[in-house]
Amino acid sequence: HYPYISVLCSYWCGLRTIKGIGRRYVGKRIFSNRSIQVVIGDGRSKRAKIERFFEDDVPEGTLLNGTVINEKALEDTIRGTWSKHGIKERNVDLVLNSPHLMARRIEMPCLSGNKATHYIMNEADEKEIARFSDPVTGWYPLVKNKKTQNVVSETAEKEFIETYIKIFGAVGIRLNSIHNGINLAVNMMQTQVGRGTVVYMILDGMTLTTMLFTGGAYFNNLSTRVYSQTGTIEFAGEIRNAVSSIRQFATAQHIEEPISDIYVAGLNADEMNSLIAEMQGYPLADVIKPIVCPPNVSMRSGREKFGSFIFSFAGLFDTVGGVTLLEALKKSSAKYESKKNVLKVVIP
C-alpha cells in the first residue's frame, strides 16, 4: 500500500500523499479560489476512513477556475499548510475541478494502454478538443464487461499540468496523478443511490454542481454559477431553476421514474433549514434534504461536515488501471524528445 495525500481546487484541486510500507495514510488537500481543504485517512477503491480534515485560506488572486495566477503564493500556501499541520508525506495525487481539465464518461471496446488512449482521442468531440493547443489525455476504467468497458477520460493542456508539477516540485512534493474531482464524487455517491431517481446538488463557493442518478446508474451533471446569498429567497429560486434543468434533461432522456430524493451539500444547518422553508410549495419540496455521509466513508467525528468536504473525501478513493494524465504527459514528452533527436540527425 502506498500512503498518500490529496489536494483539490474550486474550482479546486485535491491531492493524495503516499508514504512507506504498511498502513496507507491519505491526506487530501482541496484548493478553492479561497481555501485549501486537507483530508488525512486510509483510502481504497470502494471505501475511505477519515482520520482528520481541515481547511486553510488561500491568498486572494492565487487561483482562478483552477488556473494558477500567482505561483509563488501557491507555493507558500502549500509549504505553510504542510508545516502548520505537520504533514510528512511527499508523494501526492492532485484532484482538480476546472474548465481546463475536461472529463468525459464513455463506453468503449475493451482496449488497454495506448490503444485505449488512441480510441478515446479519435472519438472525442472535435470542438471540445479544438480548444486545447497541446492536449494530454488520460483515462481510468469504471466497469468492464465482456466486450465493452465504461471509462472516464480526462484531457488538459500540457502546460496546465506542468505548472502544477513545477509548483509542487518547488516545495519538495511529487505528484503521482491528477484527476477531475466531479467524476470522483460521482463514483463515491453512486455506491448509495439505490434504484430510484436521485439528484445530488453540491454547492462549492459560487459553483453549484447537480448530479442525476437513476436505476443505480449515473446519467448527467450540470454545473451552474450561483449569484444569490445562501439562506435567501433568491438562493432558493436558483436551486429550483437547477432542479428544473435536470428534470428537463431527465424528460429528454425518457426517464419516467420520478425524483425520489434531492440531496444538498455545501450548506450549514441554518442555511439548509432556510432552504427547505423557502422551497415549501414547490412540487419537490418534500424530497429536498441535507446530504448524508455514505456508509463507505467512515470517520471518528465531524460527519455533519461531509457535504462541505465532499470533493476532497472523494479524492481518497483509488482509481485503478488505465493511463493517468501524468503517465500520458511523460509519453508525450518522450515522443517530442525522440522527434527532436531525429531532427538533430537529419539537420545537424
Calculate mean pLDDT across residues 205-220. 89
Grid coordinates belonging to 147: 466486450
Grid coordinates belonging to 224: 451552474
Grid coordinates belonging to 76: 507558500
Task: Compare 64 and 162 and report the one with higher pLDDT.
Answer: 162
CA dist., res. 188 & res. 124, Å (int): 25
Helix or strand (DSSP H, E) at 37: strand 35-43
Indicate the pLDDT class of residue 116, thresholds 50, 70 and 90: very high
Is pLDDT above 70 for 205? Answer: yes
Task: Report helix, strand or coil for 276.
Answer: helix
**Are the C-beta atoms of 97 and 206 separated by less than 8 Å?**
no
Helix or strand (DSSP H, E) at 344: helix 325-346
- pLDDT tens column, 248-265: 888 898 888 889 999 999
Whole-angstrom CA distances from 3 to 54, 114, 116, 231, 235 are 19, 28, 29, 40, 41
pLDDT of residue 120: 92
CA 266 to chain centre: 15
Could you tell me where the DSSP H helices lie in 85-145? 113-123, 126-130
**Which of the 8 DSSP states describes residue 272?**
H
Is pLDDT above 90 for 233? Answer: yes
Orientation of helix 325-346 relative to helix 158-170, angle to 10°: 110
- pLDDT tens column, 130-153: 889 999 999 999 988 889 999 999
Choose among 314, 268, 328: nearest CA to 45.
314
**Are the C-beta atoms of 9 and 66 separated by less than 8 Å?**
yes
CA 32 to chain centre: 12
Grid coordinates belonging to 330: 511523460
Q: What is the mean pLDDT of the chain?
A: 83
Choose among 215, 289, 298, 258: nearest CA to 44.
298
